[in-house]
Amino acid sequence: MPDVIGLEVGEALEVLAKCGVTVVKEAATKPPGAVACSGEARVLRSKVKVPNEVELLIACRDFTIPRKEVE
């Protein structure tokens, strides 16, 4: 299984596909209150489910967090 930790998601997907590995799930992590992510996304964790199948945990570089209005 190739090590794709830290790679941009697109690059990680290419590496895995070339090695015959299928990504069965992509989950994203974000800070509390964030409603959208932008910028580059990178792989934080890969978890082998069965041979040649992996789940990826990804995180974006930037997030949109709505401001709370103060009364």
The rounded distance, in Å, linking the Cα atoms of 62 and 1 is 29
Q: How many CB atoms lie within 10 A of CB 69?
A: 5
Q: What is the pLDDT of residues 5-48, one digit of tens each?
A: 999 999 999 999 999 999 999 888 887 877 777 778 899 999 99
Strands (E) located in the chain: 22-29, 36-50, 53-64
What's the pLDDT band for 60 if we cut at 50, 70, 90? confident
CB 52 within 8 A of CB 20: yes
Sheet of 36-50, strands arranged across: 22-29, 53-64, 36-50
CB 58 within 8 A of CB 43: yes
